[in-house]
């Protein structure tokens, strides 16, 4: 059956609908993605007292990671994660691990 020659829908209307739908959805998704990135950026890099992580916390994590990953492989075995978390808790008692 040749659907182009039937009266099921309008060819030009379908093109206009698809193009407008594609442009609108692309615009919405792009703006949503930018909004999510901006929100996370503002939460993470807000003022030092309101920040989720301070520079001291990041530096502390780097130091503890270097203690656990002595061979500098940039990865640790799963069994060492518990040790890493214990060291983080000991070095930063105010950090709460849930």
Angle at 87 between CA 86 and CA 92, to 5 degrees: 100
Provide the pLDDT for residue 98.
45
Provide the pLDDT for residue 94.
56
Provide the pLDDT for residue 77.
87
Provide the pLDDT for residue 36.
92
Provide the pLDDT for residue 3.
66
Provide the pLDDT for residue 67.
87
Regarding pTM above 0.75, the answer is no
Residue ranges per structural domain of the chain: 3-44, 55-91
Residues 51 and 28: their CA atoms lie apart, in Å, by 29
Task: Give the residue ranges of the chain where pLDDT is below 70.
Answer: 1, 3-4, 44-52, 91-98
**What φ, ψ does residue 7 adopt, rounded to 5°?**
-95, 20
């Amino acid at each position: 059956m040749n659907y182009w020659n039937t009266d099921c829908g309008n060819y030009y209307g379908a093109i206009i609908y698809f193009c407008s739908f594609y442009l609108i959805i692309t615009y919405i998704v792009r703006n949503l993605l930018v909004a999510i990135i901006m929100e996370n950026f503002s939460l993470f890099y807000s003022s030092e007292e309101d920040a989720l992580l301070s520079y001291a916390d990041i530096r502390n994590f780097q130091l503890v990671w270097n203690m656990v990953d002595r061979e500098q492989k940039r990865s640790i075995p799963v069994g060492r994660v518990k040790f890493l978390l214990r060291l983080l808790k000991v070095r930063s008692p105010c950090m709460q691990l849930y």
